[in-house]
Chain A
């Protein structure tokens, strides 16, 4: 073996060592009078973990506060073991944290962990999501009455619906202000929150009631207002529904969630 094949083998052996796997790389590294090949390689293996832990810690500060150093370190160790980085930009390394906390024992026995991770990753997604134009209310006024049935909405890419079964937003809010979090409580009914970024680049969040969640979910899926009216009939009478739908639309526009109207 020579040339590029030899270089490839060296890189694979090196990476196996960094990942803590069986590797022959140590035979290809020069020792010095004071440091063995292994000691020299360990500088890279240690740095690998530290770098990934730093990235995770930056992304999940509140989860870290909730768990404390030791438990959070367990989470990070498990994450790094299960997710060798396959991304180029460290900004996106920890995007599978919610999935890990939902599926891996013992973390999945504490659903608040996955919910806190969802809140923090949603803020991160909102923070640097695409910049799009913002729809103004007068665009709505310019719409012909017959256009309502076919109206579809385009949203800011920051708009996300977070399904949370616990009072995790209250826990998150208290911890992020360095306050004692409230006792963890399951919501009496499944509660959804909307989180999005306004034109001033600040992210906002608020709870959604069942009707608005149904309407917003359908609108985000690109469904027409005719479909949204239909869904709202599960919550309101035929007389109330059009007014409710319009008031949702107005509030989404006022809150700068929308980037376009098509009809």
Chain B
């Protein structure tokens, strides 16, 4: 798929259901957390259907555990496919991580060692998932707090090689690059410069917290100025990329979050041309990806 530009979106959160349903605020699209709707029925799915009727959506998962050495979780993938059929998202993403081993789940996005064997494992598993879902997926770079002695290359080389071999796309989390750059002492611009531009399909923006010498990806604050600056750098490098803000804790009223999204719109407006920022017509269609 070529890169459609959806404009500027927000993560759909339960705190905002009522506001979104009643006021239908101007937001170009919503990203949902897939697992929140992997339930049999009731209000979660009823609200999802109502909001989907008015907005384009993309799906973002946290449990695929694509990097685990356990077999792929077929039950999970079947539920994901069922939800894809219901939502008809523009695209589907998950993280470049592992979450479980020996069937014990950490419910966390755990980092992988950056080496050749892991690249082969990931490329193979992503291909299997894409074959099963019948569509390419997006994978997201993590915030991480450890690095492994067995790693043989920097994260950006690891990510770029997996994308190349598997044919998947990238959900580039600008805040995660900033957080990991701080925690692992590299320049975030180096990361962005190394990523293959044609594979970048979406950006995430979020806030974070300082925990001593580490930055933790907490999604509980506004996006900070250095991350906005990095976002501008990324726009210059990649051009128009569908952008959204993730907020998962200390969630403000919808109007405040919408005002924060306007900062992203303003940065894009001063960085890119009007032509670049034209929302793809296909983005308005269901199941366009």
Contacts and interface: CB of A to CB of B under 8 A. Distances in A.
Interface stretch (B2-10, B43-51, B236-244, B258-266): B43-51
Interface in A60-119: 84-91, 93
Interface in A104-145: 126-131
Q: Which of A7, A15, A85 has the most CB of B within 10 A?
A: A7
Interface string B135-150: 0000000000111111
A130 B107 CA distance: 25
B224 interface: no
Interface stretch (A41-49, A161-169, A213-221): A41-49
Contacts of B178: none
A40 interface: yes
A222 to B, nearest CB: 19
A48 B104 contact: no
A1 to B, nearest CB: 11
A40 B73 CA distance: 29
B273 interface: no
Contact of A29 (B38, B108, B117, B149): B149
Contact of A197 (B42, B104, B112, B149): B42
Contacts of B46: 131, 201
A19 interface: yes
Q: Which of A12, A37, A47 has the most CB of B within 10 A?
A: A47
Nearest to B37: A128
Nearest to A85: B105
Contacts of A2: 117
B121 A86 contact: no
B101 interface: yes
Contacts of A51: 107-108
A44 B101 contact: no
Interface stretch (B126-134, B159-167, B208-216): B208-216
A88 B42 contact: no
Nearest to B34: A89
B40 A129 contact: yes
Contacts of B107: 48, 51-52, 55, 85, 90, 93
A48 B43 contact: no
A4 B125 CA distance: 13
Q: Which of B43, B46, B107 has the most CB of A within 10 A?
A: B107
A89 B69 contact: no
A169 to B, nearest CB: 21
Interface residues of A, number: 48
B63 interface: yes
B76 A88 contact: yes
B101 A8 contact: yes
B176 to A, nearest CB: 15
B63 A89 contact: yes
Nearest to B116: A3
Nearest to B213: A34
B48 to A, nearest CB: 11
B102 interface: yes
Contact of B69 (A4, A34, A44, A127): A4
A188 interface: no
A30 B40 contact: no
B41 interface: yes
Contacts of A86: 103-105
Contact of B101 (A15, A29, A91): A15
B146 A41 contact: yes
B39 A128 contact: yes
B150 A6 contact: yes
B110 A14 contact: yes
Contacts of A47: 108
Nearest to A44: B108
Contacts of A11: 68-69, 98, 101, 110
Contact of B113 (A7, A43, A131): A7
A44 B146 contact: yes
Given A11-B68, A18-B106, A35-B213, A40 B43 contact: no
Given A8-B69, A11-B68, A85 B39 contact: no
Nearest to A156: B41
Q: In the A-B complex, list the 10 residue pairs whose CB atoms are closest, starting with the nearest.
A: A131-B41, A128-B39, A8-B69, A128-B42, A11-B101, A3-B117, A130-B40, A85-B105, A43-B145, A34-B213
25 contacts: A7-B113, A7-B121, A10-B150, A15-B104, A29-B146, A29-B147, A30-B146, A35-B213, A37-B146, A43-B145, A43-B214, A44-B108, A44-B110, A52-B107, A84-B104, A87-B105, A88-B75, A91-B38, A128-B43, A128-B45, A129-B40, A131-B42, A131-B45, A131-B46, A201-B42
Interface of A: 2-4, 6-8, 10-12, 14-15, 18-19, 27-30, 32, 34-35, 37, 40-41, 43-44, 47-48, 51-52, 55, 84-91, 93, 126-131, 157, 197, 201
Given A35-B214, A130-B41, 13 more contacts: A4-B69, A18-B108, A35-B213, A37-B146, A40-B214, A43-B211, A44-B106, A88-B75, A89-B63, A93-B107, A128-B39, A128-B44, A201-B42
